[in-house]
Amino acid sequence: MYLSVNHLSKWYGDYEALRDITFEVKEGELLAVLGPSGCGKSTLLRCLGGFEPVQSGDIYLNHERITDLPPELRPVATVFQSYGLFPHMTVLENVKYGLKFLSLSRQEATKKALAMLERVELAQYAHQAIHDLSGGQQQRVALARSLVIEPDLLLLDEPLSNLDAKLRVSMREEIKRIQQDLHITTIFVTHDQEEAFSMADTILLMNQGNVVQTGSAIDIYEHPAEVFVLDFIGKSNLLAENCYVRPEKIRMGLPTKNQPAQGEICQVVFKGEIIEYDIHCFDGSNLSVVTLNQSDYLFQVGTKVCLSYTEKTLGG
């Protein structure tokens, strides 16, 4: 495997921030580390980048053990949330800065930096000051500066968190395009499920310093390993211990002679593309149902409905 992380543990004093973390990443794959605030995502990234020592465990990158190497000796580039660009330098100078520690002639460095700016579609801004660029453009300069050194592994810590909602969506596609073009193995930290789902080949879901599940977006959504995953990823109805049904998997209809009403709609939330319903069932339970907006608005508050669905089992 290209990146192997084996039994990594990290303590801050007597607080265990990472507990026995084990996972693998294939070459050219994009892995999203997803989880709630404080679960240890950034700590894991800092340990992979060499910015934090670990107490036990091993990291192998491209068959080399890098666990104890300082950041500058790891073939790894990190883009932090703040981008860390130098405001007094031009775009080109910022990207060339990444090459400072390689023994390249000035001409070679300029050529490489310009080629990378071309890749991220910013060549025309090469001689502009950093503060003349938008947030999304600055993000791409930070990416270019990291990628120009041709690292074996790219680490991105919540790279879209400083951008507005619309730009986040277009930057997701942009980062994915660049990552795939360069076939660069990438680990991307986010607390945003949609971001992880839309970008990652594999998702590593964390909670309280542990890895709780690893898999594709479909694996994790369709086969949640435990209640935490069910709650964190999407919406769900927990029916009984270990049994659940997703709201969009419930079919709702008007009662017929053969199918009596099982509940009554007590709330309708119109969200445009979808409509969310809260159903009070006659057995005393409550269910959430989501339907696509298919426009006949049959179901209003007070409508009695029948429901059909198949229960799924956690971990199944």
Ligand X SMILES: Nc1ncnc2c1ncn2[C@@H]1O[C@H](COP(=O)(O)OP(=O)(O)OP(=O)(O)O)[C@@H](O)[C@H]1O
The binding site for ligand X (CB under 6 A) comprises 12, 15, 17, 35, 37-43, 191
Q: In angstroms, give the least distance from the CB of 191 to ligand X.
A: 5
- Residue 123 in tokens: 């060549």
Closest to ligand X by CB, 210 vs 303, is 210
Q: In angstroms, give the least distance from the CB of 53 to ligand X.
A: 12
Closest to ligand X by CB, 34 vs 85, is 34
Closest to ligand X by CB, 116 vs 154, is 154
Q: How far apart are CA 276 and CA 269, in angstroms?
A: 5
Q: How far apart are CA 286 and CA 288, in angstroms?
A: 7
Q: In angstroms, give the least distance from the CB of 40 to ligand X.
A: 4
Find where tokens 């919406």 sit: 235
Closest to ligand X by CB, 19 vs 191, is 191
- Percent helix / strand / coil, the chain, rounded to 5: 30, 35, 40
Q: In angstroms, give the least distance from the CB of 297 to ligand X.
A: 40
Q: How far apart are CA 2 and CA 187, in angstroms?
A: 13
Which H or E run contains 227? helix 227-232
Closest to ligand X by CB, 35 vs 159, is 35
Q: How far apart are CA 275 and CA 14, in angstroms?
A: 47
CA-to-CA dists, residue 179 to 174, 191, 239, 274, angstroms: 9, 20, 41, 32
Q: In angstroms, give the least distance from the CB of 38 to ligand X.
A: 4
Closest to ligand X by CB, 39 vs 229, is 39
CB atoms within 10 A of CB 14: 5
Q: In angstroms, give the least distance from the CB of 80 to ligand X.
A: 11
Q: In angstroms, give the least distance from the CB of 101 to ligand X.
A: 26
Nearest Cα residue to 229 out of 209, 248, 211:
211
Closest to ligand X by CB, 44 vs 275, is 44
Q: How far apart are CA 179 and CA 86, in angstroms?
A: 24
Q: How far apart are CA 38 and CA 280, in angstroms?
A: 35
